[in-house]
């Protein structure tokens, strides 16, 4: 069984490297599907697999390159409009507007107007076809919790000792700063990926000057 484990691991490692451009969740889905297929095929044998059995199982799957190409094509196809026409809310202005509204709303959520901006940004994020479901979930949770928690807990970030004019960052402060940076980085990533997909759909470049 060591040979079986080694060959399966090597196959999955090669496939994982070729799927490096996929989102981690999507890559995990593909690898789990391949792993389940191999396990099911081995279980159907009802005996210790031979080298010939393994050759047949991996031949049925195809090479790691074939599986990766099919998975990448499937993911890319799912992000394209089926009729060839550009869908609504897939233009280049959508990513910066959506992420900008989310940033303003999360960072200043203790005010009334930013809450409305946050909701508008989240609605735009979720109804636009520019992002996958996983990206929409991450683009909602991390910025809202990170930036929102940082803003609402601002009074807890720094404290000044009695009689001491210098402030110190508390452990909670470091945690909130890290969360805020993670939220900001997530928004940047979401904006970049959405912008790339908008350009792939042929959005005309804005005129300069």
pLDDT-derived band of residue 39, with 50, 70 and 90 as boundaries? confident
* Domain membership of residue 56 as a residue range: 2-78
Of 145, 130, 134, the residue nearest 97 (C-alpha): 130
Same domain, 196 and 113: yes
CA–chain centroid gap for 35, Å, is: 22
Question: Where among 27, 54, 78 does a domain terminate?
Answer: 78
Q: What is the pLDDT of residues 179-195, one digit of tens each?
A: 888 888 999 999 998 88
Average pLDDT over residues 44-61: 85
- Whether residue 63 lies inside any domain: the answer is yes
Answer whether residue 165 is part of any domain.
yes
User: Model confidence over 81-109: pLDDT tens digits?
Assistant: 444 556 778 888 999 999 999 998 888 86
- Residue 91 DSSP symbol: S
Q: pTM of the entire structure?
A: 0.53
What is the Cβ-side half-sphere exposure of residue 9, based on CA atoms within 13 angstroms?
A: 6
| 205 assigned to some structural domain | no
Other C-beta atoms lying within 10 Å of the C-beta of residue 92: 18
pLDDT at 58: 85
- Written in H, E and C, the secondary structure of 177-199 is HHHHHHHHHHHHHHHHHHHHHHH
pLDDT score of 53 more than 60: yes
pLDDT digits (tens, 9 = 90+) for 130-157: 888 888 999 999 888 888 777 666 544 4
- Whether 85 is in a domain gets the answer no
Same-domain pairing of 135 and 162: yes
User: How many CA atoms within 13 Å lie on the side-chain side of 78?
Assistant: 10
Number of domains in the chain: 2
Q: Are residues 67 and 134 in the same domain?
A: no
């Amino acid at each position: 069984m060591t040979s079986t484990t080694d060959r399966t691991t090597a196959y999955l490692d090669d496939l994982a490297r070729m799927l490096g451009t996929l989102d981690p969740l999507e890559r995990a889905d593909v690898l789990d599907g391949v792993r389940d297929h191999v396990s099911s095929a081995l279980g159907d044998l009802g005996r210790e697999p031979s080298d010939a059995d393994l050759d047949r199982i991996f031949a049925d799957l195809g090479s790691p390159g074939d599986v990766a190409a099919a998975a990448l094509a499937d993911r890319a196809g799912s992000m394209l409009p089926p009729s060839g026409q550009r869908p609504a809310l897939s233009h280049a202005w959508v990513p910066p507007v959506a992420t900008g509204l989310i940033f303003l709303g999360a960072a200043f959520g203790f005010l009334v107007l930013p809450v409305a901006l946050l909701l508008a940004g989240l609605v735009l994020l979720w109804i636009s076809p520019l992002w996958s479901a996983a990206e929409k979930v991450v683009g909602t949770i991390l910025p809202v919790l990170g930036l929102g928690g940082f803003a609402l807990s601002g009074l807890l970030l720094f404290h000044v000792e009695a009689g001491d004019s210098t402030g110190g960052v508390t452990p909670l402060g470091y945690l909130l700063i890290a969360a805020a940076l993670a939220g900001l980085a997530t928004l940047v990533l979401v904006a970049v990926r959405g912008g790339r997909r908008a350009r792939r759909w042929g959005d005309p470049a804005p005129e300069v000057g």
